[in-house]
Amino acid sequence: MALTITCPICGKRNGYEFKFGGEEKGPRPEEKDLTPEAWCDYVHMNKCVAGVQQEWWFHKDGCGSWFPIYRDTTTNLEQEDQKATNQEGKNDEQV
Partner 1 sequence: MKEIQRVSPVVFKSTPVKTKTRDNWEVVMEYSEEGDGPFLVDLSHRPRFDLQDSNLAAQKPFGIEIPETPGICVLEKGVLANRMNGTQVSLYNLDSDDTAVMPDESGYTDVTESTMCVALIGKNVFSICEKLTALDFMDPQRKAPFLFQGPFSHVPCQIVTLSKEGDISGLVLTCSRGYGRDMIHSILHAGEEFKLTPAGENRFTNWIKEL
Among 15, 51, 62, 68, binds partner 1 (CB under 8 A): 62
* Closest C-alpha among 66, 60, 79 to residue 8: 66
Among 60, 76, 77, 88, binds partner 1 (CB under 8 A): 60
If binding is defined by CB under 8 A, does position 9 make contact with partner 1? Answer: yes
C-alpha to C-alpha distances, 31 to 28, 38, 39, 43, 47, nearest whole angstrom: 9, 10, 9, 13, 22
Name the DSSP class of 37.
H
CB of 60 to partner 1, least distance (A): 7
If binding is defined by CB under 8 A, does position 61 make contact with partner 1? Answer: yes
If binding is defined by CB under 8 A, does position 88 make contact with partner 1? Answer: no
Contact 57, 21 (CB under 8 A): yes
If binding is defined by CB under 8 A, does position 14 make contact with partner 1? Answer: yes
If binding is defined by CB under 8 A, does position 10 make contact with partner 1? Answer: yes
Interface residues toward partner 1, by CB under 8 A: 9-11, 13-14, 16-17, 59-65
